[in-house]
Structure 1
């Protein structure tokens, strides 16, 4: 049996079960002077073995340097622990009623630190908080009619752990899958989107050069550089153009302030020095055209909530800091 895949652990400082993404947001919500690594133990109260949280306390770099935040089990779990059973379930041979494609996808998912098969992108959900139920997590998941029709794709026994409303967790899952799986495995990876059904992950998260909108009201992303900060707000310029027009993202300080720990995390990423580029992911943004101070036509992307935003960065290999703050005219689109 391979190393345990643990998706949720009990955090002693927070007093509840958390995903590793919950731990990251809680950690960065603290003032820097107050930050100390959290203590974790197994979410199964009958086990309670000490756990380790890995990479949640550092900012995630892009590309090959990306390191997935995850829980690690340095000690054996008790025989009846739910995570022993979870590992056993996901490692089973092909099951009755399971197609060959489903089995191949399940085997590919075993290579990843996290396992997400359901994403709820509803912006009316409060995604600024994570799992806050006290140990143990045992509340049955309420199934909707659309959920019931997807039983083949969703392991209902573990769905309370493999569902998320948090974009950062979804993008971390995508990032690790892209870096870890073979091209064929990655292209065949699917996820269930609330009100949309089963969608290939690579179709739900698409590059900006494929369009400013995603047909599933999903995620678009692209690289670029920071033009200017406006308090905690910022203006970002994408490298890729749309119809020969430059593309910008402006996020004002009020939106940035609305995301609690995630706002702090994003702010610290944007304050990182010696950055080669930022890669920005946006969940279902709107867009508009405008004319800048030089009379040129440009495109502005818009979001309403910080929960629609994920940012990674890559550092320059050179030790010399090359500031991009003055590379553009810095029009304030407000």
Structure 2
């Protein structure tokens, strides 16, 4: 953590600091840098108790060297005791605060510095999960999530790759951060869909309700409003904001609905590979003008392939044991 300024540290050491300042300095004193600072500060103060200081308190001639040594020794002991007493009066509450912080941290991860858990949702599966702050997350197939077992006192932060729908519990003092590579979604209390598979050329975030800020690699922030989508090109680092015609349509997958609207057949097959955990095998290049519009709930792979054959110039042969779908274009 950053070192507090000298004025704040001094206020704490002399007992004039506020509780917030004391907590700040206490956390810093618990670091290696803080411990070294305090040790140096203490010894420097002790070195100030020199013979010159002792002479100021003796207003008569010293009867002898032995007496001189006894008097100086007593003066030093008293001054050191006063100093140690003053330091202890300040330090003991700080030690208690530090101890309390780290005792609580060991139980609830106050500082959010614990190891991250990793979750992978394989192809053909979708799951729901809830965090301890009340945030819910619906995770689509072939997605990766890294998250703390418990959020700390600061930001609530996760790392994600794939597709997911978030319903974030509102907390204005603790933003929820979703890291998508070098881009972040900063959330206060919101529902939104994220599509950020590693192989995709773009990251798409569609906001249903609430508000979010997209934090770009250079630190710039872009505000997104309900009914808008943020499309970010990974290669060029350029982005655009689009108006969404049917809000929520991109996230119907969480209700087990397959939905495509004017999507290229190649993109449709990629989504079906994740959804059903199969591989599409295409021997020839398909026509670029094959666009698919289809919606189906709780569908099987066989039923989806049958519907695709009805609306496209393609035939599909599903080999269940191989988990492969062979695709051919009609003459």
Q: TM-score, normalised by structure 1?
A: 0.26
Greater RCO structure (CA 8 Å; 6+ sep): 1
Structure with greater proportional helix content:
2
Q: Greater CA radius of gyration, 1 or 2? A: 2
Q: TM-score, normalised by structure 2?
A: 0.26
